[in-house]
Chains A and B, each alone.
Chain A
Amino acid sequence: MEDLRKDTSGQWIALSGLVISLIIIGLAVLANQAALAGYHSSNAALEFPKENIRELNQHTRDNAQTIKDMAFYMNSTTNETVPVAFEQLFDNYSTQMQKLYAVHGEVVDVSLVSINSTTGNYTMEDIDMVFVNITYDDGRTHYSAEPEIIEVME
């Protein structure tokens, strides 16, 4: 034991051992932080309803075109005017969307603001845009596009 205490050789090795141990402690802290960062970023990605909002917007856009076609069909088979038929169909669409989103605890509102016609006539060629208000709320995230301008020229 006395021999060991007086033996001062290998000090560099002892020092490098200390340095390496400090590095390992640093790495452990880093790895810990990385796990935490991964958890928080994943949680944020899962909580933010970007796909739901994107889907609401995209589906409304696609539907405006379908509704326009149906409104003209309704106009030809019943005595409803195109704007009235358009509004009825849009209200029907809006009600269904509200219910389907409400099932997931989300409040949406899709309402028709106006139908834009370049000449004032409501023919297939003249109706080029519709203005729609879209809002979405799930209690944490609120989104609104008022108005969303949708082009409905084929």
Chain B
Amino acid sequence: MNDKGQLHTLEGLGAAVLMTLTILTISQSTMIVTPQNELAIDVHLEQMSSDALTVMDRNPVDSAQYNLTECIACWDMNEADYPTDTAGNLDELDAGLRYLLPNALYNVDLAYIENDDLKVDKAIINGPAGKNAVVTRHFVTLTNSTVSEMGGGWNLGDNELKVVEVRLTTWKI
């Protein structure tokens, strides 16, 4: 029997065991995100867009950047027109979202109840939603005082409050 190269063989064996143990440890301890799994990207994107809306909503009223309620309150009620006028007068909201959602495109729809009917307006259009787009939503409440302060086009009575659903559709580019 040829006894040559036994150490090399043992070394190979040791390396293989080491690699297997490492992969086992990693795979058993955390959630594995495989690149092939598109759902994992959706989860990530959904969390990012949800966080973006929450961050904008939580902005204090007196801070330099308008918060989500203030942004929506200033809307002039003219729907966006793609590709000529993608954001209407919602520049603040558009700038905030663009900063918080890098490498992603988004559309914003506003849904609210008017005369007992649901009305959905397209506020920001950045194009047709791509593959694996996710939708997140956030609610804001508008009152006459917020709207008149921001100079928006919502026609509200003094004793009226309007709940508006901000619907954010996000997709990766």
Contact = CB atoms under 8 A, between A and B. Distances in A.
A96 B162 contact: yes
Given A34-B27, A38-B32, A55-B138, A96 B13 contact: no
A19 B12 CA distance: 10
A7 to B, nearest CB: 9
Given A19-B13, A96-B162, A43 B39 contact: yes
Which label, helix, strand, loop or mixed, suits the secondary structure of the A interface? helix
A59 B139 contact: yes
Interface string A81-103: 00001000100110111011001
B37 A62 contact: no
B159 A38 contact: no
Interface string B157-170: 01111110100000
Contacts of B34: 31, 34-35, 38
B9 A100 contact: no
Max chain B CB contacts within 10 Å: which of A37, A42, A92?
A: A42
Which label, helix, strand, loop or mixed, suits the secondary structure of the B interface? mixed
Nearest to A99: B113
Nearest to B146: A66
Contacts, number: 114
Nearest to A96: B163
B63 interface: no
B141 A11 contact: no
Contact of B113 (A15, A45, A59, A96): A96
Nearest to A92: B161
B143 A23 contact: no
A46 B13 CA distance: 42
B31 interface: yes
B158 A73 contact: yes
B141 A59 contact: yes
A77 interface: yes
A52 to B, nearest CB: 8
A10 B1 CA distance: 8
Interface of B: 1-2, 5-6, 9, 12-13, 16-17, 19-20, 23-24, 27, 31-34, 36-37, 39-40, 42-43, 46, 50, 111-113, 118, 136-139, 141, 143, 158-163, 165
Interface of A: 8-13, 15-16, 19-20, 23, 26-27, 30-31, 33-35, 37-39, 41-43, 45-46, 51-52, 55, 59, 62-63, 66-67, 70, 73-74, 77-78, 85, 89, 92-93, 95-97, 99-100, 103-104
- Give the top 9 A-B pairs by smallest Cβ distance, nearest first: A9-B2, A42-B39, A34-B32, A96-B163, A38-B37, A16-B9, A59-B139, A42-B40, A12-B9
Given A27-B20, A63-B141, 12 more contacts: A20-B12, A20-B16, A35-B32, A35-B37, A38-B37, A43-B39, A67-B161, A73-B159, A77-B158, A89-B159, A96-B112, A100-B112
